[in-house]
Amino acid sequence: MSFKIPIIDYDYYYQKVNPYKHHFIEKESDITIISDSKEAISKAKEAFYTHRAILETYTSKNSDFLTSFSPVPVKKDYKIIQLMAEAAEICDVGPMAAVAGALADLMIEAMRKDAPGYSLPKIALVENGGEIIIDSEKPMKVALYAGQNE
């Protein structure tokens, strides 16, 4: 299920900042990135593909990580694996329950990482499969539409 994420404070965000919005689907991931920086969006996408590739390689060699409904012991060689394993341990679920949130965390981290010649964005928002992470200099209002109640 995917949520629509409108930014409601139109005066500030659309007239003054005019953020960019990028949506893409890669296999099971359905992602929306919003930022005032095209470069930040590129960094987020690069982080997604890097960490997704690591996760796919890891799960091809460690099937328990992919299929377990309970936490599994892992080597903490990769940040994506470490984040997912820690979340699984805290919530007493399988590590794949944390995949969307872990990827979104790493994407925001990439957007906010300072580098020479890179201006940090004022807005960094990632929505991945209903997991929403926002880092913004100004307060943001977010509306979630979860479908019709029956």
Judged against a pLDDT cut of 60, whether residue 14 lies above it is answered with no
Q: Is 96 in a helix, a strand, or coil?
A: helix
Residue type, 21: K
Domain count within the chain: 1
Q: Is residue 79 part of a domain?
A: yes
Q: Is residue 63 part of a domain?
A: yes
Q: Give the CATH number, domain containing residue 31.
A: 3.10.520.10
pTM of the model: 0.82
Confidence of residue 11 (pLDDT cuts 50, 70, 90): low
Task: Give the Cα separation of 14 and 8 in Å (integer).
Answer: 9
Residue 49: give the domain boundaries: 10-136
Q: Is 103 in a helix, a strand, or coil?
A: helix
In angstroms, the Cα distances linking 126 to 4, 35, 45, 68 are 12, 9, 10, 27
What confidence score (pLDDT) does residue 125 get?
A: 93
CA angle 142, 143, 147 (to 5 degrees): 150
Task: Give the Cα separation of 12 and 99 in Å (integer).
Answer: 32
Residue-wise pLDDT for 48-96, tens only, equals 999 999 999 999 999 999 999 999 999 878 999 999 999 999 999 999 9
Q: Is residue 147 part of a domain?
A: no
Q: Is residue 40 part of a domain?
A: yes
Residue-wise pLDDT for 92-114, tens only, equals 999 999 999 999 999 999 999 88
Pair 74, 63: CB distance under 8 Å: no
Angle, helix 38-61 to helix 79-91, in steps of 10 degrees: 70
Residue type, 39: E
* Widest pairwise Cα distance in the chain: 52
Q: Which of 18-32, 45-59, 114-128 has the lowest mean pLDDT?
A: 114-128
Q: Is residue 44 part of a domain?
A: yes
Task: Give the Cα separation of 115 and 110 in Å (integer).
Answer: 10
